[in-house]
Structure 1
Amino acid sequence: MAALLPSAPVLQFTFKGKLGSCRLAPFSLHDKKRTRFQYKPFFVKAMCACSSSSKSQKKQVWIWTEKKEVMTAAVERGWSTFIFQPDFRQLADEWSSIALLSPLFIEDGGIFDGEHIKVANIFEISSPEELEKLQLLTEQVENVVVNLLDWQVIPAENIVAAIQGTQRTVFAISKTSSEAQIFFEALEQGLGGVVLKTGDVEAIFELKDYLDRRNNEGSFLELTKSTITNIQMVGMGDRVCVDLCSLMKPGEGLLVGSFARGLFLVHSECLESNYISSRPFRVNAGPVHAYVAVPGGKTSYLSELKAGKEVLIVDQNGKQRTAIIGRVKIETRPLILVEAKTDQDCQTSYSILLQNAETVALISSSGGRHQHTAIPVTSLKLGDEILLRVQGGARHTGIEIQEFIVEK
């Protein structure tokens, strides 16, 4: 067990969710026929938890580090519960003089709070027999930290299966942010927490970014009703089909637009038609110059997308989720320009170019003639009402910024 116990402090921090009695740092350290597709619409003293939106499951992260810059990066983001070995009580005092901390300590194979109440057990697991010991644990401690000595995906899945129905939160020690993500996603449910063993600040940023995206799963974006004001055939261009590693349902698609200030909800090819078989993994999204919404409130050019990157899937109610790109196809096809305006701002025009094909559709707004309907671009009429995501137009590397900008 000595090999498992850290020779440096461990930091625990919290993401979005219902908090317990944690204390946060109070300051920062430094047919040309009109076609329509219709569809219906854990937790102990001094520990903080975050909530998984997809499973309503509370997630926790502890960080094992000996690097002060890692601690600094964490505290600057409001993460302030630390765990120390007894030999590092002086360091705990030093860091507590910088920010308001809630220190916990590793002693005798467990983790204890300042009142010497055990808050977690520690286990090494490298065999089914050791996993069984975890299942048979009767001590009433709500947290268990496990070290998978020969890390791989299957043991993580076995642990998730073994602890289903129990009230314990199991943490797995991870050496990278990618490993931590696997533990959070094993058998979809995932472990309740990870211990990220790192001296790399970037690993902190990566895992934070991942959990922020995870917490946004199922949250809603505001979509605005807009009215079609112009439809025009414009000739040939290079358009992008985005094929995802996830299946989409009726009403779902990608947010795409010529300007970041207004993104149109472009429907997936999940609906059956007379022209082609359903491809529920695909969105025929538009030409290479167009913006597409990606996680973190950012945009990307369609031309920048590639296998392994992520985009936001959004439905007609604004509910969002993240999907991984499996393939991108760029081909030359005839394009159609669609422009729209909102009732709130009749002076601003929003536009998108799309392939002029019956399988490419925009989603109508609730209350229009085509309520909850995907309207093929070949059937669009002036005055049709479609859904739009209105946001800030100025962007730098896909990030919204505040500056004067004119686009037309």
Structure 2
Amino acid sequence: MSSSPQTALWVDATTLTPGETPDALAYLRSSAASYLVVRHDQLAEWQPIDRLKTALLVGAGDESLAEQIATDERIHMVIARTPADLPVARALAGQRGVGARCEIVDGDTMNEAADLSGEVDVVLAVFADETNIPLELLLAKAQSTRTDVVKQLLNTAEAHTVAGVLESGPAGLMVSAEHLSAVDLVTQVVKEHGQIRKDLVELEVLRAEPIGMGHRGCIDTTTLFGEDEGMIIGSTSSGGILVCAEVHYLPYMKLRPFRVNAGAVHSYVFGAEDTAYISDLEAGERAHAVAADGTFREVGIGRIKTEVRPLRLIEARHGDVTVNVILQDDWHVRVMGGDGKPKNLTDVTPGSTLLGLVTEPGRHVGIKVSEHIDEH
């Protein structure tokens, strides 16, 4: 399972009146928007910037604009007002990308939009209802094609749900420039669902030994982990080791691909920004799955399962930073080797290499603080 790609924020300015256009476009220059959809008559008000691409909405009757559009370097893509306007959009686009705006109100219009998969670069999907079932169908049809699906939000409350549809969500979310406050709200959602990558490092194991009984917690999530995924777990804020999810062969029991056997209950669970104690996590909270390439993706917590088990201490070093993790002492617990392949915990010995995260130490309630904190 791969991590979610970055979701683009689109802004539809085509509903603005001439009087509203200048101020709105000026605001959008400093926003986090990636694409701006405009009418041709609004281009006179638009001074482009490199990071914000411009998509021009066209339809029947705009054929006379061909010469102007052909020489306007501000236009990155041409969008048909309806699927029926695609011939016009293609004729005006030249070598630029082509898309279509699709209003989806029933099965027929749903099929019409789905049939554009592989035929256009982007489908701007405008759904009449809040249900995500039609969006799921459209995403399924578009996957493995060149077509990106962008969902126009009916309201900002939809953003969190829509961004996670079919794991990766649509390629973009679109809001109306009539409601500029929504741009900032949806920007935060886009950020949360975007791809976060950190540099994992190779750690040399210094100690690997049983330390007796203790309470360990399994973190059961509301997602399924990939074969190269787990969570970063450690005893100190200086970092931790990538502990694999239960997705690898077990001879005596079924796999639990939603679970990380995360170790002693005092341990930190490292997220993209903050940390949490295993014992503090509760159903409904959020944590991060981590892949061997350092990609972090947000996951939901379903429960924490705590039991008394024999424990094993693994201590490892990268440069002058030492980290440790205390895990259930059993071979079926896996940690990620320095080569990116899972290792049975009982096969880890001094000199082995593991994959982990090294951070600047010092945290208070899970947040990095600038003070001296000694942990050992």
TM-score category (smaller protein): 0.5 to 0.7
Letter in 2 for 1:196: V
The yes-or-no answer on 1:375 pairing with 2:344 is yes
Contact 1:174 1:194 in 2 (8 A): yes
Q: 1:266 & 1:240 partners in 2: Cα distance?
A: 13
SS in 1 for 2:246: coil
SS in 2 for 1:318: coil
Q: 1:399 & 1:114 partners in 2: Cα distance?
A: 57
SS in 2 for 1:392: coil
**Among 205, 223, 227, which residue is 2:205 paired with?**
227
**Unmatched segments (≥5 aa) in structure 1:** 1-52
The yes-or-no answer on 1:119 pairing with 2:119 is no
Q: 2:25 & 2:278 partners in 1: Cα distance?
A: 37
The yes-or-no answer on 1:236 pairing with 2:210 is no
The yes-or-no answer on 1:394 pairing with 2:358 is no
How much has 1:242 moved relative to structure 2?
Answer: 1.0
Letter in 2 for 1:257: G
Q: 1:110 & 1:286 partners in 2: Cα distance?
A: 66
SS in 1 for 2:255: coil
SS in 2 for 1:159: helix
Contact 2:132 2:165 in 1 (8 A): yes
Q: 1:178 & 1:373 partners in 2: Cα distance?
A: 40
**Among 11, 18, 21, which residue is 1:63 paired with?**
11
Q: 2:213 & 2:242 partners in 1: Cα distance?
A: 22
The yes-or-no answer on 1:342 pairing with 2:324 is no
Matches within 5 A, 1:1-400: 60-63=8-11, 75-76=29-30, 79=33, 82-83=36-37, 92=45, 115=68, 119-120=78-79, 121=81, 122-134=101-113, 143-160=122-139, 169-176=148-155, 179-180=158-159, 183=162, 186-187=165-166, 191-197=170-176, 199-200=181-182, 203-213=185-195, 216=196, 221-229=199-207, 231=209, 233=211, 235-237=213-215, 239-248=216-225, 252-273=229-250, 276-294=253-271, 296-315=272-291, 317-320=292-295, 322=297, 324-334=299-309, 336=311, 338-342=313-317, 344-345=319-320, 348-366=321-339, 372=341, 374-377=343-346, 381-395=349-363, 398-400=366-368
Q: Deviations over 1:295-336 (max 9, x none)?
A: x34433223333444443345x43535363452234241453
Q: Normalising by the residue count of structure 2, what TM-score does the alignment of the two structures yield?
A: 0.67
Question: Identity of paired residues, percent?
Answer: 22
Q: Deviations over 1:62-111 (max 9, x none)?
A: 13589999989965565475445689789x56xx6999977767677999
Partner of 1:32: none
The yes-or-no answer on 1:405 pairing with 2:353 is no
Q: Normalising by the residue count of structure 1, what TM-score does the alignment of the two structures yield?
A: 0.62
Contact 2:163 2:193 in 1 (8 A): no
**Unmatched segments (≥5 aa) in structure 2:** 71-76, 82-100
Deviates further, 282-291 or 243-252: 243-252
Q: 2:349 & 2:51 partners in 1: Cα distance?
A: 61
Q: Deviations over 1:364-389 (max 9, x none)?
A: 444xxxx9452335x65555543332
Letter in 2 for 1:390: V
How much has 1:263 moved relative to structure 2?
Answer: 0.5
Quick check: which one's helix share is greater? 2
Counterparts in 2 of 1:279 and 1:405: CA distance versus 1, 3 Å: same
Question: Number of residue pairs matched?
Answer: 336
How much has 1:337 moved relative to structure 2?
Answer: 5.5
Contact 1:228 1:385 in 2 (8 A): no
SS in 1 for 2:360: coil
